[in-house]
Amino acid sequence: MSDRVGFVGLGHMGAPMCEQVVRAGFAVTCFDPREEAVAAAATAGARPAASAAEAAAAADVLVTMLPGPAVVEDVLIGAGGAIAALAPGSVAVDMSTSSSAVGERVAQAAAARGIGFVDAPVADALRAPEGRLHVFVGGAPEDVERVRPVLEAMGAPEGIVHVGPMGAGYTVKLLVNLQWFVHAAAAAEALAIGVRAGVDARALHAVFAAGPARSSFLEHEALEVLEDGQYGERFPLALVTKDLRLALELAERTGVPAELSEATRRMYEHARERLGDAAGEMGAVRLVEELAGTSLRFEPEAPA
């Protein structure tokens, strides 16, 4: 595989991911509609491009990290023209949280030009600056192996999992996010009920995080709220509700009843209406706090 990589999408996740690819020694050409984002990537060592198509034309592997399915489709096979600009034999890797329906259309357009297409959405946003993301990869085995060195620049090798054919990565990412949002909403309600019933928040959290109800949310992200009063602004509610809608569309297509997932979606939509699009991914916790009139914070520990 050549060392030429195009990178399109330099947002909260894309910017540190692009920087990791540069640090790994790849020759990176980047684009984002925000000039300041491109300038920052250029400072880190990427070559700026004037468009997505220009970034693609300079690459053997094109990576996209975009807000959602509509943007993915537009950049790759719509007005952005990225697939049309790639040379035959290259591979496009979409690392956005998108839909398999869009992926199918992109894959068909790519195949018609002799271009491979891999979907490889990511998790663990906090680890993006370390190059230790989890990556869920869907695609033909030969395409996945061709792009693996680029993926390993951004993700922990043991966390890069080939989950199936093209589209499987999108599916797994939506379901990972769905479970996390459900866990966060359920934990928020349980914590609020326990605190209102008179149990110390620190003791309650210790039991939840170590017991049979433990989850990644309780072990890690919940501490941002409980210790620091932070609600995960790195991933806004506008994107949370987008991901939940996509997950429920998937449930409908597969014929699986998803009553708990639908209730969680409504809860996050309520949080978005009350707190705004830019509020963080733990907006459900903040919503529960406000509705219950209860602050979920650890009391200072008594001196020894």
Reported as a single tens digit per residue, the pLDDT across 228-271 is: 999 988 889 999 999 999 999 999 999 999 999 999 999 999 99
The full DSSP string for 89-147 is T-EEEE-SS--HHHHHHHHHHHHHTT-EEEE--EE-GGGGGGT-EEEEEES-HHHHHHH
Summarize the confidence of residues 130-140 as an average pLDDT.
Answer: 94
Report the C-alpha gap between 266 and 31 in whole angstroms. 35
Tens of pLDDT, residues 42-81: 999 999 999 999 999 999 999 999 999 999 999 999 999 9
pLDDT of the residue at 1: 45
Percent of the chain predicted with pLDDT > 90: 91
* Domains present along the chain, CATH in parentheses: 4-165 (3.40.50.720), 171-292 (1.10.1040.10)
Beta bridge partners of 94: 64, 119
| Kind plus residue range of the DSSP H or E element containing 170 | helix 168-196
* Cα atoms found within 13 Å of the Cα of residue 7, Cβ hemisphere only: 32
Task: With CA atoms as reference, report the closest residue to 99 among 183, 17, 5, 172.
Answer: 172
Contacts of 165 (CB under 8 A, 6+ apart): 138, 139, 140
Q: Name the active-site residue from 173, 205, 265, 272.
A: 173
How much is the pTM?
0.91
Split at pLDDT 50, 70, 90, the class of 299 is: confident
Are 231 and 184 within 8 A, CB to CB?
no
Report the C-alpha gap between 232 and 271 in whole angstroms. 14
173 is catalytic: yes
| pLDDT(2) > 80 | no
pLDDT of the residue at 303: 63
pLDDT of the residue at 125: 79
Summarize the confidence of residues 213-222 as an average pLDDT.
Answer: 92
Task: With CA atoms as reference, report the closest residue to 76 among 115, 48, 45.
Answer: 115
pLDDT of the residue at 233: 87
| pLDDT(126) > 80 | no
- The amino acid occupying position 98 is S
Instruction: Record the tokens describing residue 279, joined without a space.
Output: 């509020």
pLDDT of the residue at 304: 56
Task: With CA atoms as reference, report the closest residue to 179 among 258, 95, 94.
Answer: 258
Split at pLDDT 50, 70, 90, the class of 120 is: very high
| pLDDT(30) > 80 | yes
Bigger pLDDT: 123 vs 83:
83
